[in-house]
Amino acid sequence: MLKELTKAQKKAARSLIDLALERECAKLVDKVSSLAHKPLDKVEKPNHARYIELYKLIDTFDKHLADRYDGITGGRYLDTVAFLLADGSLTDEDLDLCDETMKNELLRVKEILFQIRNR
């Protein structure tokens, strides 16, 4: 088990965290675009209704990002990357940015998280 990440490992972890964040934001942009282009309902104020829907979507996403990404320090990088890997925000192939020690540790933790989830 890794006790502390090296500088290179922290750099790789930060790159993976940034990659997951970029992917999550891309999904949100796709949802917003889809919602913005959805045909307007025949209600009295369709644009206001659409605005409220968009606002709620972005507000919920903002809270999700804050919970997941705010305050991540070097000591939490490995845990954060493991959770991002376990929830599908990162793939096993993304771990090619890591050295073998870090990659093996992340895959081990991913399996533990899957086992816990499937109990």
pLDDT at residue 43, rounded to an integer: 62
Rounded CA-CA distance 1/105 in Å is 6
**1 within a domain of the structure (yes/no):** no
Spell out the per-residue pLDDT of the chain, length 119, in tens.
Answer: 677 899 999 999 999 999 999 999 999 999 999 888 887 776 677 888 889 999 999 999 999 999 999 989 888 999 999 999 999 999 999 999 999 999 999 999 999 988 888 88
Quote the distance between the C-alpha of residue 61 and its chain's center. Answer: 11
Number of structural domains in the chain: 1
pLDDT at residue 94, rounded to an integer: 97
**2 within a domain of the structure (yes/no):** no
Host domain of residue 61: 7-117
Cβ–Cβ under 8 Å, residues 88 and 15: no
**61 within a domain of the structure (yes/no):** yes
**52 within a domain of the structure (yes/no):** yes
